[in-house]
Structure 1
């Protein structure tokens, strides 16, 4: 079973790597086309809506945009869709591997709701689907003709979802799910709206009919939404590495402010690409919002030591706490790890427990059994540089304890 854990860790790494690669491809193409569209020279004669000359990699490129479609169907037409699909599919796989398969550790917070794993997973999956349905209905309502009002309503939904996720899941899972909620909307925009609309235009063109420009207008609205949602999604996907963002009572507010920062940053670049100047005030607003986020993160992040000792152990914690060798492993972790992984770290230069991992109480240590096994048992990742001088015998004791259950 321990070999399975190693394979599982590598599978998670591979999927995460794939997710990053596909996300880079999607975000890169998305940002490029938004910048291209906003920066087109439209003071030209002819059927094209605009054109742009660009130089890159030693060559010159002449790009033209047609508002609906060119007069004749091009022999070669490149569709930009798989970047989006691959990013969502790899992200969904990562969600399943980390948060569904590891629900007892990473998804469920038993101090909030003590529910079966299958129920937590069902809520996780359903919330992503519900988000798209609600968003799509709003876009197809009269609000669709009022982009600013629509964005404000969408922001309100995101704030409500941020609060809701933090009421039922761990802080780490809540931030991740808010990112997945948003990313699902973005990919569904591509799959259900943008691509079908483009296919209608192409079909009309092949049949000799004049395409209806409304399809391009609808697709552009959804693409614009994706443009403004991208940066917050990246922040939320990275947040699980930074406990100051998720391990605080105000994490749901922090997530909401991140969406505002995404708007201010993208507004700067979009305005610049439109050649309407550089609104530097957006960076000032971004800095202020970031300072507020940092201030919110300074609130008490964890339950007290006494509260943690008093609460009942979760099922996974109970299994590892009852395993043979736990007492020895417990003492090793306290002596080698808890000076950093504490509610109030005593190691100079560390303000909060790395990745929000606490290793002070029996429940803490039992609940982090797999991470301890991987990081300090079969590998030498922890402590960093073996700065607390954990011995080979102590690593063997940790490994022995974990394998009593697995």
Structure 2
């Protein structure tokens, strides 16, 4: 058990194998079929990863950084933040992708995108998620690359980029609350 739990890749692989095993159990009958169940599971997994990291940044990292001594800050900015931002942006992309696939599998994609009455709540949630994902890829990530020194930038540019990234991240935190309401209360 120690070997399984001390290596994250093995932990994840065993977790996936257990979930896949449950999918083929005789009592596992997703209401709309196996593929819907698989994509619902993936959508929730990626969504938890995305929003969990969003909340980590906003509830832990951003408020804590001013209190960290200057000599310790590179530990966060050079090692923790870039890795967290990698998972953050890809979780956003895969959450949106699996969500669109799910809407298609539920035969609700057009209705949701058109905000038709039958799918208005999920459509609003989808649009909020699309805005948030665009924020991740086109505002937060490019600015974080500057702020963290992953691309060349002078100190004034880094400071401005950090502020823009923080405000975009706070915008996503704000939008995540109604988005989660839409997503969890639709079906």
TM-score by length of 2: 0.67
Aligned-residue Cα RMSD (Å) equals 3.0
Take 1:194 and 1:91, find their aligned partners in 2: how far apart are those partners?
Answer: 21
| Aligned structure 1 segments of 4 or more residues deviating by more than 6 angstroms | none
Higher RCO (CA < 8 A, seq sep 6+): 2
- Show CA shifts across 1:261-281 (max 9, x none): xxxxxxxxxxxxxxxxxxxxx
Q: CA deviation at 1:235?
A: 1.4
Provide the secondary structure at the position in 1 that maps to 2:66.
Answer: coil
- Show CA shifts across 1:168-219 (max 9, x none): x134x000000001111101100111112233441106xxx54612111111
Q: Which runs of 5+ in 2 are unaligned?
A: 1-29
Q: CA deviation at 1:9?
A: 2.7
Take 2:140 and 2:117, find their aligned partners in 1: how far apart are those partners?
Answer: 34
Q: CA deviation at 1:45?
A: 4.6
Matched, 1:93 2:40: no
Inter-CA distance 29–44: structure 2 relative to 1 (3 Å threshold): closer
1:202 is matched with which residue?
Answer: 150
Q: Which runs of 5+ in 1 are unaligned?
A: 1-5, 52-62, 67-72, 108-120, 128-164, 242-406
Of Structure 1 and Structure 2, the greater helix share is in: 2
Q: Give yes or no for contact 1:198–1:216 (8 Å, CA) kept in 2.
A: yes
Q: Give yes or no for contact 1:189–1:222 (8 Å, CA) kept in 2.
A: yes
Q: CA deviation at 1:44?
A: 5.5
Give the 5 Å matches for 1:148-227. 165=115, 169-171=116-118, 173-200=119-146, 201-204=149-152, 209-210=154-155, 212=157, 213-227=159-173
Take 2:156 and 2:94, find their aligned partners in 1: how far apart are those partners?
Answer: 29
Inter-CA distance 45–190: structure 2 relative to 1 (3 Å threshold): closer
Matched, 1:9 2:33: yes
- Show CA shifts across 1:241-297 (max 9, x none): 3xxxxxxxxxxxxxxxxxxxxxxxxxxxxxxxxxxxxxxxxxxxxxxxxxxxxxxxx
- Show CA shifts across 1:312-336 (max 9, x none): xxxxxxxxxxxxxxxxxxxxxxxxx
1:29 is matched with which residue?
Answer: 53
Take 1:92 and 1:38, find their aligned partners in 2: how far apart are those partners?
Answer: 31
Inter-CA distance 211–83: structure 2 relative to 1 (3 Å threshold): farther
Q: Give yes or no for contact 1:197–1:216 (8 Å, CA) kept in 2.
A: yes
Take 2:66 and 2:166, find their aligned partners in 1: how far apart are those partners?
Answer: 17
Q: Give yes or no for contact 1:19–1:90 (8 Å, CA) kept in 2.
A: yes
Q: CA deviation at 1:64?
A: 5.3
TM-score by length of 1: 0.33
Q: CA deviation at 1:99?
A: 3.4
Provide the secondary structure at the position in 2 that maps to 1:99.
Answer: coil
Inter-CA distance 19–42: structure 2 relative to 1 (3 Å threshold): same
Q: Radius of gyration: which is bigger?
A: 1
Take 2:133 and 2:97, find their aligned partners in 1: how far apart are those partners?
Answer: 10
Give the 5 Å matches for 1:3-402. 9-40=33-64, 42-43=66-67, 45-46=69-70, 65=76, 77-78=82-83, 79=86, 80-100=88-108, 107=111, 124=113, 165=115, 169-171=116-118, 173-200=119-146, 201-204=149-152, 209-210=154-155, 212=157, 213-241=159-187
Q: CA deviation at 1:39?
A: 4.0
Take 1:199 and 1:41, find their aligned partners in 2: how far apart are those partners?
Answer: 17
Take 2:55 and 2:67, find their aligned partners in 1: how far apart are those partners?
Answer: 23
Inter-CA distance 64–40: structure 2 relative to 1 (3 Å threshold): farther
Inter-CA distance 46–199: structure 2 relative to 1 (3 Å threshold): closer
- Show CA shifts across 1:214-237 (max 9, x none): 111111111001112212212111
